[in-house]
Structure 1
Amino acid sequence: MQCSYYDAGSCRSCTLMGQPHGVQVADKERHVRSLLAADVDWLPPVVGPESGFRNKAKMVVGGTVQRPTLGILDRAGVGVDLQGCGLYAPELSRVFPTLEAFVTTAGLTPYSVPDRTGELKNVLVTLSPDGELMVRFVLRSQESVARIRKHLPALGDVAVVSANILPEHKAVLEGSLEIPLTQRQTLPMRVNGIDLHLRPQSFFQTNTEVAAALYRQAVEWVTEVGPASLWDLYCGVGGFALHCAGRGAASDRDVTGIEVSEEAIVSATTSRDELGLSRVRFAAGDATAFALGADAPPEMVIVNPPRRGIGHDLAAWLERSGVRHVLYSSCNAESLARDLAAMPSLRPTRARLLDMFPQTTHYEVITMLERPSRAGASAR
């Protein structure tokens, strides 16, 4: 993939831009293999399109009311317009000119980082597999919320719109206060025939096609183990839990999903109720605290932590818990390796790289950890 922004030096976010996609994937797999045990059975990597794959745009707003930019800021805090970025799905790119015009129509003054003035900081857009859109305006205050609401028809056919309030001057994407501006507050993300209901502050993978493959791989491995009880820690909107709960006769499995975001738990619960999965429950809370406070461990655990990994306390609990199988989905192989070192009884036996983030050094890796039986351990 070639990018005019990268070639011109306007944006260097994609550090692997210009390298053949096959080389990128091979280098990523070589990297993760070097961090995991040598006797891991590696499945072929999952590779999707190298461009047009992103279902989410996180656009920093710069410029002026009359001439706004949607993209990033340069080192001086000046807006760089990236509406033509080739990573975005075409259906997502088509809405950018409408959003640019909306900034002018609604009189939304772009926030100036150097001067700490203005209102509109970011515009966050998510595209569902069915072509519906969620738009979130990240604002310094509620001053312009009424104007956004007034001019909503100018956005056209957008399913979900909200205003997020971020009053602090700091390098974060959004604040804690979300103000719904449309009747609908969820965006169905249909993955493998399951509607995952995404609310404004819920996390969802940016690459829908590769995320679908990730969940299918998890289902295959969980089905092989056949646990009667399963925990999905850091469950987000319930992707792993809902996929691995089973259907019909296979749904006789107690599944518990734990996620710190209450918004995500509302989303997961909505999906569960639609699917009629009576033996699946979701709760908002800290994954480590939940595990440490549980009366007994399940037969299998799925963990899908943020980049920092699961950390020492949860790894230590898993090590002593007696859980025979752990499925670990990681977006950071370095923290994965640290966590594995803290639970040596759970040995990685199978793994698969998923190229979730082409043009960058980032990737997802899913790993099956198994605790050897006592007989097997003695044989070794």
Structure 2
Amino acid sequence: MHCSYFDAGRCRSCTLMGQPYAVQLTAKDRRCRELLADHDGLRWLPPVSGPESGFRNKAKMVVAGTVEQPTLGILDEAGAGVDLRGCGLYPLDLQAVLPVLASFVTRAGLTPYDVSRRRGELKHLIVTQSPDGELMVRFVLRTDEPVVRIRKHLPALRHELPALAVASVNLLPEHKAVLEGDREILLTEASALRMHVNDVDLHLRPQGFFQTNTAVAAALYRQGRAWVDDAGPRSVWDLYCGVGGFALHCAAPDRDVVGIETSEQAVEAARLSAAEARLDGVSFRAGDATAFAVGAGAAPDLVIVNPPRRGIGAELAGWLESSDVAHVLYSSCNAESLARDLAAMPSLVPRRAQLFDMFPQTAHHEVLVQLERA
């Protein structure tokens, strides 16, 4: 992949840019194998990849500059905006949305937030595209003062962007380096973006999490479903379930599946997916994954864990080790924390593993490991 922003030194977010993609993929696969090399008998499947460009379904753009000339992209070391509307990580139809949104910033009089002066209103624009081409647009603001103007001009924006299904305002009053705040103001009747993946309809609400690479995420869920079906469990827990990707893919007759997730919005979205698909054997609860497992009266046949980068941690790893869970599927975005967690569960033996390259041009990755009790 060629990137003019990288070549000009304007953006170095993609740390592997310029390396042949096959070299990137081989290096990631080798690194994961090295970190799990202590597990004798672990069989590695060939890595799964997708397009090396145009793969991201979400654009998270810092807004800077002025009302008349906003920049959408990142900030440089001096805090000035670097416009990245032509970033090749986004599909062309998603790229085409960004100039329209820049014009909307001007039309609605949304003052970009100045980090150095701590003034202004609009901090970020977050745009998500569904596999069917529908859009979710979120305006991250310092206060709710501009909401009236956004509402006023929203019909014109929807006319320019017929694919716009969900729009919202997120409030981030604090001056800190985070993407969004806790409060969300919905601006459209629709509250969730339908994400059709394989044969499953997932629903993404404004503050929900979804993998940024839809094609590779679909492959991850297919492999997870295949490994679960191989084990043939009657009961499954999907811990850190998000909007229910693994849980909904693993639904089957005479199988009880429970998903656990801290985000209430994600749980509501997952419940909607299960109801629409009439999956009576799949349920979702809001709560902490570790607290749920430790406090449960009986363990299931199989547990899926898909934690954040920090991993599942000592307490949940210890519970899994001491439980009678026969099979575990561990989906990890950080092979270092994965290796640490596996070391704490010696009775659960890794049998198969596979790299899923969600993040071409960077060192990030996703690894799926199948474990069974010795």
TM-score over 0.5 for the alignment?
Answer: yes
* Aligned mate of 1:321, from 302, 323, 341: 323
- Which one of 196, 221, 236 corresponds to residue 202 of structure 2? 196
**SS in structure 2 of the partner of residue 370 of structure 1:** strand
Q: How far off is 1:348 after superposition?
A: 0.8
1:260 alignment counterpart? 262
Match of 2:4?
Answer: 4
- Quote the residue 2:354 is aligned against: 352
Tell me the CA shift for residue 39 of structure 1. 2.3
Please identify, of 86-95 and 115-124, the stretch whose mean Cα deviation from structure 2 is larger: 86-95
- What per-residue deviation string (whole Å, max 9, x for no partner) do you get for residues 319-356 of structure 1? 00111100000000000001001111111110000111
Q: 2: distance between equivalents of 1:16 and 1:305?
A: 25
1:222 pairs with 197, 218, 228, which one?
228
Equivalent in 187, 192, 208 of residue 193 of structure 2: 187
Deviation of 1:76 (Å): 1.0
Distance 1:38 1:117 in 2: 57
1:1-380 alignment runs, 5 A limit: 1-36=1-36, 37-156=39-158, 157=162, 158-246=164-252, 251-372=253-374
Name the CA distance, whole Å, in 1 between partners of 2:27 and 2:65: 38
The SS at the match of 1:66 is coil
Residues 180-231 of structure 1 deviation map (CA, whole Å, 9 limit, x = unaligned):
0001011000000211010000000000000000000001100010100000
Whether the aligned pair in 2 keeps the contact of 1:91 and 1:127 (CA below 8 Å) is: no
The 2-side partners of 1:292 and 1:38 are apart by 29
Tell me the secondary structure at the aligned position of residue 195 of structure 1.
strand
What is the CA deviation profile of residues 139-160 of structure 1, one whole-angstrom value per residue up to 9, with x for unaligned ones?
0000001100100023232110
Instruction: Supply the distance in 2 between the matched residues of 1:31 and 1:272 (Cα, whole angstroms).
Output: 37
The residue type equivalent to 2:278 in the other structure is: G
Residues 251-295 of structure 1, C-alpha deviations (whole Å, 9 max, x = no match): 210000000000000000000000101111100000000001000
Instruction: Find the residue that maps to 1:159 and give its secondary structure.
Output: strand
CA distance in 1: counterparts of 2:332 and 2:210, whole angstroms: 14
The amino acid of 1:241's aligned partner reads A
Q: CA deviation at 1:38?
A: 4.1
Q: Which amino acid aligns with 1:91?
A: D
- Distance in 1 (CA, whole Å) between partners of 2:125 and 2:231 is 43
Query: What stretches of structure 2 of length at least 5 have no aligned partner?
Result: none
Find the aligned partners of 1:343 and 1:176 in 2 and give their Cα distance: 35
Query: Which letter maps to 1:264?
Result: A
For 1:185 and 1:222, the matched residues in 2 are separated by: 32
Three-state SS of the structure 2 residue aligned to 1:151 is helix
Paired with 1:91 and 1:234, the residues of 2 have a C-alpha distance of 31
Amino acid at match of 1:167: P
Q: With structure 2 as the length reference, what TM-score do the two structures score?
A: 0.98
Q: CA deviation at 1:117?
A: 0.1
C-alpha distance in 2, partners of 1:74/1:230? 46
What is the number of equivalent residue pairs in this alignment? 368
Gaps in structure 1 of 5+ consecutive residues: 373-380
Q: Secondary structure at the match of 2:50?
A: coil
- For the residues of structure 2 that align with 1:223 and 1:314, how far apart are their CA atoms? 24
1:120 and 1:38 mapped to 2: Cα distance? 52
